[in-house]
Amino acid sequence: MKSCIDALKQRFTVHNLATATDPEALLREVGPEIRGIAGGKVSAALLEKLPKLEIIAVSGVGYDSVDAAAVKARNIRLTNTPGVLTDAVAELTIGMMIALSRRIPQGDRFIRDRKWLDGAFGNWSELKGKTLGILGLGRIGKEIANLAAALKMHVVYHGRTEQKGAPYPYFENVVAMARASDWLVVIAPGNASTTGIISREVLEALGPKGVLVNMARGNMVDQDALVEMLVSKQLGGAALDVFDKEPAVPDALLDLDNVVLSPHQGSRTEETRAAVGDMVVANLTAHFAGKPLISAIF
């Protein structure tokens, strides 16, 4: 984001790999002197080109785009931006759920296509009274739970451990939670322990009236099974902000009425991206001033 890059330029010499016409040439030229990275994808191969790297400040809370094991092995510091994007992501989650249950995008299209003049739109379904299973009752999961409770939904959750004091029923098992849920929101980190956690079995347990909402990472869902079951109506619907090979989205989803699609924009508001950028700058500034990091992963 521009304000983040401007703030970095006031403090550091900045090179922009994302917009470089020849990234490899830029890396050959400046890689040996780079001491910090703001945002972006960091592979083990990239790390090898940056011998003086001291810190990576990720511009998001999920840091699955970084090879964290390789970073740790080199004693490089890693930071993310927890908390500042919680409300924006929770807000979009509920927005997508309402959009799907009340067919808001379709209703808009119905009017624009002048179809209302020929007859009524139809009756859909509401969230009130439905059970919402949350996979990952963390910062964002808890805020989604608050908003869902305000909409008179019944919240249940799954995580690796039960949270003492959480006012919602806990499910030790994802399949059992899916079976008990009308809506299932995925909002846990994408990592080795969660890859494929929404398996065909989980989707079958959610069933023809159930809806999957993925706000976390595409690789956490068996996307082939998801598409197949949405097409055949074995699954009731899906609201998806993330995809396995985004920005590519399976063609089969594009024509489905029981799906709402969103281009990974959970945190993409002006306000929230500015706050994320500020946190990235604050972490880098603290590091190079020899002060404690604001939000260190390690």
- Return the active site residues: 217, 246, 264
Q: Are strands 211-214 and 183-186 parallel, antiparallel or unpaired?
A: parallel
CA distances from 224 to 120, 182, 288 (A): 35, 21, 45
Using an 8 Å Cβ cutoff, are 75 and 69 in contact? no
- 203 CB neighbour count, 10 Å cutoff: 24
Does position 155 interact with ligand NAP (CB under 6 A)? The reply is no
Using an 8 Å Cβ cutoff, are 262 and 97 in contact? no
Does position 62 interact with ligand 8YV (CB under 6 A)? The reply is yes
Residue placing its CB nearer to ligand 8YV in the complex, 96 or 229? 96
Does position 159 interact with ligand 8YV (CB under 6 A)? The reply is no
- CB-count exposure of residue 270 (10 Å: 0-12, 13-18, 19+): exposed
- What does the block give as tokens for 31? 């890689």
| CB of 59 vs ligand NAP, minimal distance in Å | 11
Q: What's the residue count for the chain?
A: 298
For residue 184, give the amino acid letter: L
| CB of 242 vs ligand NAP, minimal distance in Å | 5
Q: Where in 188-207 is the site for ligand NAP (CB under 6 A)? A: 188-190, 193-194
Does position 39 interact with ligand NAP (CB under 6 A)? The reply is no
Contact string 94-123 vs ligand NAP (x = CB under 6 A): ------------------------------
Q: List the single partner that 8 binds among ligand 8YV, ligand NAP, none, CB under 5 to 8 Å by kind.
A: none
Does position 49 interact with ligand NAP (CB under 6 A)? The reply is no
| Displacement of CA 221 from its chain's centroid (Å) | 13
Does position 61 interact with ligand 8YV (CB under 6 A)? The reply is yes
Q: Where in 120-139 is the site for ligand NAP (CB under 6 A)? A: 135-139
Residue placing its CB nearer to ligand 8YV in the complex, 60 or 169? 60
Does position 85 interact with ligand 8YV (CB under 6 A)? The reply is yes
CA distances from 199 to 146, 206, 249 (A): 27, 11, 19
Does position 21 interact with ligand NAP (CB under 6 A)? The reply is no
For residue 277, give the amino acid letter: G
Does position 264 interact with ligand 8YV (CB under 6 A)? The reply is yes
Residue placing its CB nearer to ligand NAP in the complex, 170 or 288? 170
174 closest CA partner among 153, 200, 149: 200
Does position 249 interact with ligand 8YV (CB under 6 A)? The reply is no
| CB of 170 vs ligand 8YV, minimal distance in Å | 24
Residues in Cβ contact with 241 at an 8 Å cutoff, skipping those fewer than 6 apart = 92, 93, 96, 214, 215, 262, 263, 264, 265, 266
Contacting residues toward ligand NAP, per CB under 6 A? 60-62, 82, 85, 89, 135-141, 159-161, 187-190, 193-194, 215-217, 241-242, 264, 266-267
Contacting residues toward ligand 8YV, per CB under 6 A? 59-62, 85, 264, 266-267
